[in-house]
Every structure is written in structure tokens, then in C-alpha cells.
Amino acid sequence: MNLSKAALEQLKVIDLTRVLGGPYCTQILGDYGAEVVKIEPPQGDEVRDWGPPFDNDGNASYFIGVNRNKRSVGLDLSKTEGRDVLLRLVQDADVLIENYKPGAMERWNLGYEDVLSKANPGLVHCRISGFGADGPMGGLPGYDAVIQAMCGMFSINGIPNDDEPNAGQTRIGIPLVDIGTGLYAAIGILMAIIERQRSGLGQFIDMTLHDAGIALMHPHIANYLLSGKTPGLTGNAHPNISPYDKFPTATVDVFLAVGNNRAFSRLCMELGVPELSEDPRFVDNGDRITNRKALTQQLLPLLANLDGEELCTRLLEKGVPAGPVRDVDQVWNNDHTRHRGMAADVDGYRGWGMPIKFSRTPGQINRRPPRYGEHTRELLAEAGLDDEHIESLIESGIVLEARRR
């Protein structure tokens, strides 16, 4: 495949983000053909240091995981000359995305309304922040786990039984808010690009971790609004479906996700107890929710002596969603992971593959995550700066090819 067949061919993105939500968004765009110019401050994106593990260039896995298909330039935006370089790069860009503290771009005379939209009327400017620029928490910083706590995720995630030693609220083990914000930002950017085809104008997108965190709280907010009851810890069980939980078997823990009566009937058949689906306590999902504990007590001995992997295969073949609980090593080396191209290994770079599978314009890994400032000279040359000008900017520390420690 060449880039002329990429879905986002000719989309130019100026990426002023760091850490996770923004870089996750721009990696998605880069994976599908956008030209992503990652502009890093003199100290670099701090997640280059979030290790071990580190690669041979000293970059942490945290950085490597969300920064492929980008070119890097070091730039000091605190200096007037640095801001001039950015404006030069923005002139032919489609998107600028940043996650500075609200007001920072305006203080640098780089605000969207007064400067960027006038320099490039078609520019889509996406800002990611913790809480937005205004309101009771406007301008305050936000990090994933903090937003998880504040948006209610801790309150529903954890083991509910107080008698268990590990019971209680806990952080979700992936940075769900950051990743979710990155996904929402990518959607918002592409919607703005589509709208620009009609209006010819860009626009400002105000994305916050706070808003995305709340939007990810389904079905718990919906349940609260309809029932008036504050949701509590769910453990592995689903608040609206039963059986939808983790169960032990003789070999591995398995997860059963039985969402309707037909699937429950098939589960009972496979377990050799077809009469269980006709038990008045378990006939409908509402009954199974009401009698969740009794149902669990029925299922535990039926599953205890079975081969979990083999059971899941049989259930899936019968149309009953079920799967073994795997660790990361097992996932990475799984046959279906490989078949779906989700374990990518390209010229020494390894990472997850393309989750969006286009029939004509597939994504592709064309660049490994960049070293800091690796493309500084070539990007400035493409922006029209001559060698002498570039050299003077490097000598003065306005643009950088190595991190400032």
C-alpha cells in the first residue's frame, strides 16, 4: 500500500499534545494516513521518561505505544521566534491539537479566534484539557485516575463484598478516561473536517477529560436517572444482565455474558441442566437479576470441574458469548490476535495493529515512534526555511534536535 490510498491522505495535523489522550488521538489519525507533526517542548514529552521499560534510544514504552506514524520537531513556544515557526507550520495544516492549560495559547498570542483562525480559516483547533477553561473547575489540571475518581468510576469498580480482603473501590486498570478522550477527540476532528467541506471553515473543539469521563459512565448514569438509586460496586457482574460474571473452572477462569433468554437456555443445555432455564426464578433476565445470588450458587458447581477453554469454545459455537480470562502474554500470542493483524511487528517496531479494517484504504505503520527532534531540519525545510535560517534557530535554542535536560 502507498499513502495515496490512505483514508486520511493529505490531512496535515500539528500535534502539540503530550502524555496520552492527545497522542492517542493523533496516532489514530497517523495510522490511517494523516501527516502528523509532533511538536515537543524543549524538555520533550514527559512520557518518554515513564519507564522502565525503555528502548535502545532511552524512550519509555509509554511513549512508544502512542506515538508511531509521526515526525518530531523540538520547539520552544515561550519565545517569539518559536511561535513564528509554529505559525509557519500551521499555514497549510488542517488540524492543530494541543493539551496545554487553558489560556496558554492565548497568552502566547496563538489563540484560535484572534490568531490561528485568521492565519488559516480552515484550521480545526482541538484543545484537550482536564475541565475546560471556565466553570467552577475551569483551568484546573486533570489526570486520568483523578478524573476516574471524580466521575464516579471508582464508585462502581471494585469488589462489593466487604468480607473479602480485597474488597472496595479501585481504579480501572487501563487509562480509560485518557483513551476515551482521545477517541472522542478523533471523532470530533473528523466531524469538523466533514463539516468544513460544506462551510469552508474550521472551528474550535473543546474536549475535556471530565466530560469524556462522564460520557463513559454507561449504564450507571442511565440506571441512576431511571431508578433514583445510586449505583454501587459491581465487581465482575453486570448491573443489568445475569449471568454476566466471571466463574472459576477446573482449568481457567471464564467470563459468561448471557444477554437473553435464548442464550441462557443454550448455556443450561451445555451444562446438562436444561430444566434450570425453566426455573421460575430464572425464566427472564429480570428474574435472574432479582435472584442473582441463587443463580450463581447453581452455576458454580456445574462449572467447577469443566475445562474452561473447551467450554468456552463449545458455548461460542452455540452462540453463547463466553471467553477465558487471559493475561497480556496470552493475548499477544493468541492465534486470533495474529490472524487479525493485531500483533504488529514492523522493522523492529512492535505494537497493536489496526483496529479499524477498511476494505480499500487500510491503515499502516509507516514510521516507528520518533526520537526527539528527529525530523526538525526536514520539517522546517518543508515549511520553506533555508539552511542558514534553520541553523540559526537551532543555535539559539528556538528549535531543538535533542532534549533540554
Residue at grid coordinates 466533514: 194
The single-letter code of the amino acid at 38 is K
Q: Do residues 131 and 103 make contact, with C-beta atoms less than 8 angstroms apart?
A: no
CA distance 224 to 214: 13
Output the CA–CA distances (angstroms, integers) from residue 101 to 45, 106, 139, 141, 403, in the order listed: 15, 10, 6, 7, 22
Output the CA–CA distances (angstroms, integers) from residue 9 to 23, 291, 361, in the order listed: 19, 54, 10
Query: For 120, which DSSP code?
Result: -
Establish whether 178 is a catalytic residue.
yes
* Residue 369 exposure: Cα atoms within 13 Å on the Cβ side: 25
Is the dihedral angle over the CA atoms 124, 128, 134, 135 positive or is it negative? positive
Segment holding 393, helix H or strand E: helix 387-395
Q: Do residues 258 and 275 make contact, with C-beta atoms less than 8 angstroms apart?
A: no
Cβ neighbors of 107 (< 8 A, separation 6 or more) are none
Cβ neighbors of 340 (< 8 A, separation 6 or more) are 353
CA distance 323 to 310: 10
Residue at grid coordinates 511487528: 345
Identify the active-site residue in 15, 31, 178, 245.
178
CA distance 348 to 368: 9
CA distance 141 to 132: 9
Q: Do residues 300 and 253 make contact, with C-beta atoms less than 8 angstroms apart?
A: no
Cβ neighbors of 370 (< 8 A, separation 6 or more) are 38, 67, 70, 71, 72
The residues that are catalytic are 178
